[in-house]
Amino acid sequence: MALLITDAEIDGRRRDLWIDRGRIAHPGTATDVIDARGGALLPGFVDHHLHLHALAAARRSVQAGRNRDDLAAALRRATPDPTGWIRVVGSDDDVLDAPALDRIRPGVPVRVQHRSGAMWVLNTAALTRVAPWNHPGLERDPAGTPTGRLHRGDGWLRDRLPHAGPPDLHDLGRELAASGITAVTDATPDLDAGTATALATVPQRLTLLGIPLGSGAPPGTTVGPYKIVLADSDLPTPDTLAERIRQAHQAGRPVAVHSVTRESLVLLLVALDAAGRLTGDRIEHAALVPEELVPALAGLAVVTQPGFVADRGDLFRRDVPPDEHPDLYRCRSLRAAGIPVAFSSDAPYGPVDPWAVLRAAITRHTPDGEPLGPAETLTPRQALAALQAPTPDAAPPTLRPGDAADLVLLHVPLAAALRAPDRSLVRTTFINGQPLN
């Protein structure tokens, strides 16, 4: 199908654009025509770090709310899923444990995921079903009894749950497209072949960080940097981390290293000094970057999530020492130091809407309306570019003949959209030249 989009605002001018066989084409004959009516036509948005299966599962889960009372009300209303379990997501409760869940909803197996994605809390009924309790991340009290808190045990827990099969990503892909997202990077580590193949059903262009070293990605997908998680509850030694980085580099892959604390960032930088750096090496999150360490990030890229400031900045203000507030989710200072910065959602652990991410990067406003780290704001155009770059160290596409037709058509010109960013401004999203909404 050859498509002509007329009267679109492209690079500040109103003009026409042809699409043929999935790519932007030179003027020719079109079988279909869309009148843009002056709306901006842009390169599609890229979410450089999310978790597709977890996001799809979250859509079918109970939401924990903002406090213990919200959780209790939600659990009492909840109906077990077809496997007999209740799955809860989005908890901010760091001290929730099995006895507390038993008091709210006993008898039915309940698992509650912490908002960070790094911890599950199981009630006694759930603990009984996942025995034997042989995961090192399963916390125990002084008497040796499991508290219900499980750290970094997703794979272990998944193997003990009733098999429900991978979630259908078709509807999720259309939801992402409705916000203008045309490409995603799934950051789930240690993917097996079956899971990777299931992820490939999403309509967006897909990059996978969790493909094991030496393995290939499913057809139609791309192997990304090699994901390494630095879990602060069990940090490796610098030598151990350096060796993992060397192995990835020897396999021809840069690394994408999860770092959310000062300690893990220092560890990573020490390991990189020992292992060497490879073009494409990047830091996932960089949630806390002390000012004195910014120069040490030279040669790396950062994939960060300003959406967390808008989603939970009030909690950061409460829980993070005030002298570290300027270090949270840096953007402007990294760019000023020449460090490439790209945006992502970390969904379902952060807001998946790229327009919410855009607003957060521009304003740094928290849920209570106050700014957090206002010195790290970006201009609207800078923030937009961080959502459109195909890789963290690349510039956004230019919409020239031969480019892939992964596009977002807005209802309004770009200047109007950047004054009041909102997903309702998306009229149509094209992936490989095909409209998805």
pLDDT in tens, 67-110: 999 999 999 999 999 899 999 999 989 999 999 999 999 999 99
Angle at the Cα of 387 from the Cα atoms of 384 and 391, rounded to 5 degrees: 130
233 with 292, same domain: the answer is yes
**Do the bridges between strand 282-285 and strand 255-259 make them parallel or antiparallel, or are there none, so unpaired?**
parallel
CATH number of 403's domain: 2.30.40.10
176 with 323, same domain: the answer is yes
Whether residue 295 is preceded by a cis peptide bond, meaning omega within 30 degrees of 0, is: no
CATH number of 276's domain: 3.20.20.140
261 with 323, same domain: the answer is yes
Q: For residue 28, what pLDDT band results from cuts at 50, 70 and 90? A: confident
372 with 432, same domain: the answer is no
Q: For residue 40, what pLDDT band results from cuts at 50, 70 and 90? A: very high
pLDDT digit string (tens) for 218-238? 999 999 999 999 988 889 999
**Entry pTM:** 0.91
Query: What's the average model confidence in pLDDT over 414-424?
Result: 97
Cα 331–chain centre separation = 16
Angle at the Cα of 369 from the Cα atoms of 366 and 370, rounded to 5 degrees: 75
Provide, rounded to the nearest whole percent, the portion of the chain with pLDDT above 70: 100
Query: What's the average model confidence in pLDDT over 38-60?
Result: 96
Containing structural domain, residue 431: 1-44+399-437
pLDDT digit string (tens) for 183-211? 999 999 999 999 999 999 999 999 999 99
Closest-CA residue to 111 (of 165, 75, 65): 75
Does residue 213 have a pLDDT over 90? Answer: yes
155 with 292, same domain: the answer is no
Number of domains into which the chain is organized:
3
Rounded CA separation 86/102 (Å)? 13
Last residue of one domain, picked from the residues 160, 177, 202:
160
Q: Which residues pair with 288 in a beta bridge?
A: 328
pLDDT digit string (tens) for 290-309? 999 999 999 999 999 999 99
The full 3-state SS of 161-179, as one line of letters, equals: CCCCCCCCCHHHHHHHHHC
Tokens of 266: 């220092």
Angle of helix 307-319 relative to helix 354-363, nearest 10 degrees?
50
**Do the bridges between strand 181-186 and strand 45-50 make them parallel or antiparallel, or are there none, so unpaired?**
parallel
134 with 30, same domain: the answer is no
Rounded CA separation 306/57 (Å)? 23
Question: What does the pLDDT read at residue 29?
Answer: 84
240 with 382, same domain: the answer is yes
